Amino acid sequence: MLTDAPTALFMFLSCIAGRVSAAGSDEARQHGNGTACQQLAAKFPSKTFGRGSSKYTLESDDPACVFTPSDEHDVVSALAIIEATHTKFSVRSGGHMPVVGAQSNDNGVFIALTEINIKEFNDDKSVLSVGPGNRWIDVYNFTSQYGLAVAGGRYGQVGVGGLLTGGGVNFFGNLVGWSCNTLVGAQVVLGNGSIVETSATSHPDLFWALKGGNNNYGIVTRFEMKTYPVTTAYAGATAWDGEDAAQVVADAIQAFIMPGGGIDDPHTELNPSIEVHPFVDEGFFRSAYLPFVNGTFSASPVSIENFTSIPGAWYDTVSHRENWVSLPIEVAAVDNNLRREQFRALALKAAPGVVDLAVDVVLRPALESGELSQVNGSVVSVAFEPISQMMLQAAQDSGDYAMDVDPADGSFMIILIATNWLDAQWDELMYSYSKDAADRLEARAKELGVFYDFIYLNNAAEGQNPFAAYGKGKSLPRMQKIQKEYDPEGVIESLMGSGFKLP
């Protein structure tokens, strides 16, 4: 599965240092789940694929068939069949979330939105219509031809749909907010087969709920995003090895998030991480960061000088780039689905000492306890994703949205704990370590008064509830009411097995 944060960076740097093929769709007819796959194969023989066919994508679970709709009308037909046969189904856009069952299912219908990949401007190119089946690198390569950008994912291999409905951390957040705040409209196929155009003036309640509500309301078949003039940037990736370097990087992250640091620069986005490798010899630290500073520069921008001044990097591509898309292209060049992984998210205030706190509570025990040294390929990573008060104000200024994170509470950091390993036999141990580490960090942060009550959905783990903190608890009842209104028969609520469900 593809990732949107430190494990993507880990795989990218590590590469520096289940597709099944056959033909035809007969298998869909032979191995259908009840009658759903049989009916889909009969109605859409060129778009329905069973085990052994060329487009059957096997993730962590085992769908009976894969259906690849071409447009919203195909989705309507599929949902009619699924509802009539009461068949479980899941929907996949890019599939970057490493949560078991997040995009797949056992013996149901797997709807892959890959073919719904429209990329089309309005007349003055101020709005881009983009299909959920796109990856962000495809979108950026399209918009950059016109000197434009959209506020999508930072990693080019991530899919469009999940990122936007989960919020979206992007390169331009200090100016535009979350990625979902840049939406001006969306087309949604509801569970009853209705096609709804949503915006601030058309079904505004549904439009509000989509901005952070994940796929709890229907299947989004088109997003309308604002565009922005962007051409050049100072960007790249840098990596260091060793515990001493990790401390210097930690100090640089801490300085970045404090008042007057780089977090206050409207054009700077930073994605740093520190990780440990317990399985390698006696274990070691590795640190990295991906900066993105929008604009044209002849020297390193002041906002990231605490990082660019760190010596001893074993990998460094941070520089001025005439084409800003070269950074997501650089990261997207590596697509490694071979490692097992787990995300878990929480948040800390932008306060003194919080970076060292995360390192001491999450990373050092991974090396010192010895329990992970036996796990083949084990890596434990913490990504520190700064969310500035400026970004939250921009989000609020864009209009109401379900996440409703209050800028009055100040800047904070999304803390993404990611674990990576190679063999399934260690799944339980690695899952347990990730959860225990997050629980320890949350408890200690609360003791110190630096805990921030927010779980970023796109980084969350199975069992976490991202919706509870939306609007400081006020959003969830409204989200539940809207779900009942737009999915009265419970097709999406009860039959769709993907994403995070409303409690």
Q: How many CA atoms lie within 13 A of 212 on its CB side?
A: 27
pLDDT of 18 above 50: no
pLDDT of 95 above 90: no
pLDDT of 265 above 80: yes
Q: pLDDT band for 21, please (50, 70, 90 cuts).
A: very low
pLDDT computed for residue 106 by the predictor: 73
Question: 154 and 4 in contact (C-beta within 8 Å)?
Answer: yes
Q: pLDDT band for 102, please (50, 70, 90 cuts).
A: low
Distance in angstroms (rounded) separating the CA atoms of residues 185 and 187: 7
pLDDT of 484 above 60: yes
pLDDT computed for residue 29 by the predictor: 38
Which of 448, 458, 285 is CA-nearest to residue 382?
A: 285
pLDDT computed for residue 435 by the predictor: 96
pLDDT computed for residue 367 by the predictor: 94
pLDDT computed for residue 61 by the predictor: 57
Give per-residue pLDDT as tens, 451-469: 999 999 999 998 999 999 9
Report the pLDDT averaged over residues 77-102. 80
pLDDT of 206 above 60: yes
Domain with CATH 3.40.462.20 in the chain: 233-472
Strands 89-92 and 109-112: parallel
- Collect all residues with Cβ–Cβ distance below 8 Å to 111 and sequence separation of at least 6: 66, 67, 68, 69, 75, 78, 89, 90, 91, 92, 219
pLDDT computed for residue 263 by the predictor: 98
Report the pLDDT averaged over residues 293-318. 96
Question: 138 and 229 in contact (C-beta within 8 Å)?
Answer: no
Q: pLDDT band for 369, please (50, 70, 90 cuts).
A: confident
19-115: CATH topology is 3.30.465
Which of 107, 74, 67 is CA-nearest to residue 91?
A: 67
pLDDT computed for residue 251 by the predictor: 98
Q: pLDDT band for 105, please (50, 70, 90 cuts).
A: confident
Give per-residue pLDDT as tens, 380-406: 999 999 999 999 999 999 999 999 999
Residue 280 three-state SS: coil
Report the pLDDT averaged over residues 338-353. 93
Per-residue buried b or exposed e for 37-51, using 16+ beta carbons within 10 Å of the residue's own CB: bbbbbeebeebbbbb
pLDDT computed for residue 54 by the predictor: 64
Report the pLDDT averaged over residues 357-373. 95
Structure tokens at 287: 């640190």
pLDDT of 175 above 90: yes
Domain with CATH 3.30.465.10 in the chain: 19-115, 119-230
Give per-residue pLDDT as tens, 30-77: 344 458 999 999 999 999 998 877 666 543 357 899 999 999 999 999
pLDDT computed for residue 426 by the predictor: 95
233-472: CATH topology is Vanillyl-alcohol Oxidase; Chain A, domain 3 (3.40.462)
Structure tokens at 169: 């951390």
pLDDT computed for residue 334 by the predictor: 61
pTM recorded for the entire structure: 0.92
Hey, which bits of 242-283 come out as E strands? 268-277
Residue 135 three-state SS: strand
Distance in angstroms (rounded) separating the CA atoms of residues 502 and 337: 29
119-230: CATH topology is 3.30.465
Distance in angstroms (rounded) separating the CA atoms of residues 273 and 6: 6
Q: Which amino acid belongs to residue 310?
A: I
pLDDT of 16 above 80: no
Q: Which amino acid belongs to residue 60?
A: S
pLDDT computed for residue 2 by the predictor: 39
